[in-house]
Amino acid sequence: MTFTPFTGIDHHKRSITFACALIEHENEESFMWVFDRFKAAMGGKEPNYIITDEDPGIIKASSRDTDFLTRLNGVVWDDDLEPGEFEEKWLKVMNDFSLEDNTWLNGKFADRYTWIPAYFRNVPMGGLLRTTQRSESANSFFKRFENKYGTLTEFLVRYESATDHQKHLLKLREEENANSIPKHSYGSKWETQAVRSYTHAMFYEFQNQVKLSINTCSLVGSLR
C-alpha cells in the first residue's frame, strides 16, 4: 500500500504532518477518497492550496539539456515577471529550442495558471507554491521510521513515533522563541515590533527582505 502524508508548514517555516492515508491504487478514485476524508477530518474546511508532484513518466529527453533547463528555470521561477512577460519569454524559449510542438510542455503551458509564480503575485502566501521539495523531504523523513516488511500495527506505531518526533521539535522551537530574542540589525522600532509579532524564523526572513530593499534603494540612489 502507498503511504500518502499531507505535509504543511508551521509558523517556524518547518514541515509538519497534518494527516496521512494508506491507499492500494494511485488512481483518481483513490485520491478523491483521500481528499474527501482529509476534508472531513479538517471539519469540512478545504485547504487554500495543494502542491502535488508529477508522474515520473512525463520526463522527456529535451529536459536533460542543461542549457534548456537553465533558460526554462530562469523564466518559470522569476518572481518579478508579469503574466504577459512570462508568456512571451516561455514562447521564446520554446522557439529557440524547437519545442513548439512538444505535447508535454504545451500541456504545462496550458496549465500555467496553477503553477507559475507570475499568476500568484496577488495571492496570500502564493510564494509558497514553488516546489514539491517539502513533500519529498517529508517522504525522506518518514522512511527513517518505516519497515516495508512490517505489519499495519507496526506501521501505526512507527507513524506515531515519527509525529511525536515532529511535536518534540516544535516544542523545542517554541521554547527557543519564548526564551530568546533574535539579533537586531538596525535597532529600529520596526524590528522591535517584528520581534513581538513573528517567530524567530519569520523575523529573520522579514529582516532579510528589509535588508534587500534597503540595498536596492541604495543602489538605485547611487545610479542616479
Per residue of the chain (224 residues), what is the pLDDT tens digit?
Answer: 788 888 888 888 888 888 888 888 878 788 888 888 988 988 998 877 777 665 443 334 335 557 888 888 888 888 778 889 999 999 999 999 888 998 888 988 998 887 787 887 666 655 555 555 555 566 667 776 666 677 888 888 888 888 888 889 899 999 988 888 888 877 778 888 888 888 998 888 888 888 877 777 664 555 44
C-alpha–C-alpha distance, residues 43 and 33, integer Å: 16
Query: How many degrees, rounded to 5, is the angle at CA 206 between CA 205 and CA 209?
Result: 90
Amino acid code (one letter) for 23: I
User: From the DSSP assignment, how many helices (H) and strands (E) are in the chain?
Assistant: 8, 2
Category of 180 on φ-ψ map: left (φ > 0), alpha (ψ -120 to 50) or beta:
beta
Q: Which residues contact 210 (CB under 8 A, 6 or more apart)?
A: 190
The C-alpha cell that represents 132 in the structure block:
514539491
Are 107 and 54 within 8 A, CB to CB? no
The C-alpha cell that represents 24 in the structure block:
492500494
The C-alpha cell that represents 34 in the structure block:
483521500
Q: Which residues contact 46 (CB under 8 A, 6 or more apart)?
A: 39
